[in-house]
Amino acid sequence: MNSLKRVIIFGATSAIAEHTARQLIAQGASLYCIGRNQQKLDAMLDDLKVRASNNQRVDGAVADLTDSSQHEVLIDAAEAFLGAVDGVMIAHGTLPDQKACQQDVARMREEIETNALSVVSLLTLLANRFERQRRGVIGVISSVAGDRGRQSNYVYGAAKGMVSIFAQGLRNRLAKSNVDVVTIKPGFVDTPMTAEFDKSGPLWAKPEQVAAGIIKAMQKGRGDVYLPWFWWGIMQIIKHIPEAIFKRLSL
Amino acid sequence: MSTIQSWNRLPRVSPKAVHTLTNRQETLPDTLPTPFLAHGNGRSYGDVCLTETGSLLMTRGLDRFIDFDPVQGIVRCEPGVTLGEVLALVVPHGWFLASTPGTKFATVGGAIANDVHGKNHHDVGSFGHHVRAFELWRSDGSVIECRPDQNGDWFRATIGGLGLTGLIRWAEIQLMPVQNPWMWVQSQRFSNLDEFWVLNREAETNWPYTVAWIDCLAKGKARGRGILLSGQHAAAQTNVPAVKTSEKRVPFDPPFSLINGLSLRAFNKLYYRQPVKPQGGLTHYAPYFYPLDAIQDWNRIYGRKGFYQYQCVIPPEQAEEATAALLDTIAKHGEGSFLAVLKTFGSKPSLGMLSFPRPGTTLALDFPNRGDKTLRLLCELDVIVKEAGGALYPGKDARMSGELFQSGYPEWQTFSEYIDPNFSSRFWQRVTQ
């Protein structure tokens, strides 16, 4: 079991990350939260401080994670605040407008930068630190969309696919150092990021459910985790449809 | 656009747009169609939380605490925090909500907007009496901090103001001290309405919480028979029982209402015959205050057509006569209610211009939606309420006439001067046009 007593959260103000932070606080953790929006981060930190007990510590910093030159400084600040780091969760990301990305190379590259390159940059730095301390867990939020390219969102899918494969390789590398890398693949989650969708179907999960699944998976040091669990089955089917058929489907 | 429903699943209407708020200081996009209306956790009934002509501002994403003072028992939070989330934070510190409705899934914003009340109204008044302050955001970008003695007219307009005066960005609530999460509860059976009045008068002087459940199908000599539950927060105990929690869920929409003549009669009879505890006993606060919350999505038992809630208040002088007339009418139609709840309000005047609680007796019922047949019964009940000088609860209404609303809420025109020009609800449009 991995301890999650001192945790850094990147992209902390996303709905899934914020619920994860609350649940970690309920379990006695101290947290360092990094978010992009000052107002949202401040509101979140105030909330976590109200929920925390006196011997738990909560702080954070505002940062644009697409600026990878800041990553080292952020991790240093977090480690200095927490004393030591048991776990890291990387949760930042956007849901690109696929149609717009098809028309605009700059926009497409921006989305890849945010959803893939900034994540693997962080992972590179974190991996070396965890490898040295020979314990800990890194959780990365990828997506079921990264399992197979589909016309409706392959820019997002490609970025998440990169994150999944990078994390898979890292998991392989760090296994001998007693460090777990957990790839989290949420299905449809009812968050502001998906505000435009009709959420009446049975496949939609609440962010607090997904957050509970993330904490469990990180504690157990699991590998690829689909949340909720039934997405594993759905993605097995989707991954195994022969390409000749798949390319004609409108998914 | 997806349909967003209120708790009784009536009416089925869709807003022009839905906007999820996650940052209480955010500026709304210019493209959002007006009028706006805040929508919390969808626990009110009817259309006070619905719009067909504008945008719903979903406040459940504004669910952060801002401050909690465990010494003074003051909590400040965003409007989308539910009452259950407040309790989870404050009960371990020895505090409780001074006034709470029958569901802990209501949000703080919704509790203010409907000036909700609880079983202890005769002792402490309604939710609004325990609101210390809140910040009101207006669509022109201005912000008004309201307290009973600061911008007091805005305070009085917004307490019970049905979300029409603007968006509450945070609220500060005064809590009440308790020794533990337990309640000492006594239950007594009464065999008709006359017995209820006697028992209830006695219980009110001795207990902070009182409420009665009525078998509304019983006729003649048994009319108004039921069970009176009196409660108080338990004293410090050396031996508190272990907490048993079980959550059940109604997993699907039955094709028709499971509440029909047969099941109603059986349920009401069994409920009346349940063993009572006149000597009292300990109960955890959750099953005492929120019995239906243990069944997630209980509103589904009425099927896809939904149901009507009917909650009225009758002034004290007319209470006995009008309550009897209401029960007679319901029994005559055979359109019984699953849970008929009877309670007397205390004399503490409500703070809100449109607050529902006022001295008198309140009766709450729910009826499966059987179309015209149900509506005809409700209209008959309206006549009794109106003649007795009573009023219906907007937070539970999907069909009252403008006339009945306006007679029950004489301050409605004064109130309307405080409405944000870019806020409205289907309810408001219905009862004022």
Decide if pLDDT at B401 tops 90. Answer: yes
Residue B254 has phi, psi (to 5 degrees) of: -65, 150
Answer for the pair A184, A214: CB distance below 8 angstroms, yes or no: yes
Q: Which of B138-147, B231-240, B252-261, B287-296 is the least confident region?
A: B252-261
Cβ–Cβ contact B24 with A under 8 A: yes
For domain A6-246, the question of CATH label 2.40.430.10 is answered with no
> Residue written as tokens 């945008």?
B55
Q: Which residues contact A233 (CB under 8 A, 6 or more apart)?
A: none
pLDDT tens digits for B34-53?
999 999 999 999 999 999 99
Q: Which of B91-105, B286-300, B305-319 is the least confident region?
A: B286-300
Question: Residue B379 has which token pair?
Answer: 């209209």
Domain residue spans in chain A? 6-246
pLDDT tens digits for A94-130?
999 999 999 999 999 999 999 999 999 999 999 999 9
| Whole-number pLDDT of residue B263 | 84
Region B259-273: what's the mean pLDDT?
83
| Whole-number pLDDT of residue B56 | 96
> Which residues of B are less than 8 Å from A40 in CB distance?
22-23
pLDDT tens digits for B141-194?
999 999 999 999 999 999 999 999 999 999 999 999 999 999 999 999 999 999
| Whole-number pLDDT of residue A25 | 98
Helix-helix angle B193-206:B316-333, to 10 degrees? 130
Q: Is the dihedral of CA B178, B181, B39, A47 positive or negative?
A: positive
| Whole-number pLDDT of residue B2 | 58
Cβ–Cβ contact B14 with A under 8 A: no
pLDDT tens digits for A10-49?
999 999 999 999 999 999 999 999 999 999 999 999 999 9
AA letter at B30:
D
pLDDT tens digits for B335-381?
777 779 999 999 999 999 999 999 999 999 999 999 999 999 999 99
- Kindly determine whether residue A47 and residue B64, on different chains, have CB atoms separated by under 8 Å: yes
Which one has a higher pLDDT value, A147 or A201?
A: A147
- Kindly determine whether residue B18 and residue A51, on different chains, have CB atoms separated by under 8 Å: no
Q: Residues of chain A with pLDDT > 90: what percent?
A: 92
Q: Residues of chain B with pLDDT > 70: what percent?
A: 99
pLDDT tens digits for A165-191?
999 999 999 999 999 999 999 999 988
Residue A69 has phi, psi (to 5 degrees) of: -70, -20
Answer for the pair A209, A16: CB distance below 8 angstroms, yes or no: no
Give the separation between CA A14 and CA A35, rounded to whole angstroms.
8
For chain B, positions 48-67, list CB contacts with chain A under 8 A: 61, 64-67
Reported ipTM: the value is: 0.91
Q: Which of B22, B24, B67 sits opposite A192 (nearest CB)?
A: B22
| Whole-number pLDDT of residue B240 | 79
Domain residue spans in chain B? 182-408
Mean pLDDT of chain B: 94
Q: Which residues contact B108 (CB under 8 A, 6 or more apart)?
A: B77, B78, B79, B80, B81, B82, B83, B86, B171, B173
State how far residue A99 is from chain B, nearest Cα, in angstroms: 20
Mean pLDDT of chain A: 95
The CATH number for B182-408, chosen from 3.40.47.10, 3.40.50.720, 3.30.70.2520, 3.10.20.30, is 3.30.70.2520
- Kindly determine whether residue A50 and residue B25, on different chains, have CB atoms separated by under 8 Å: no
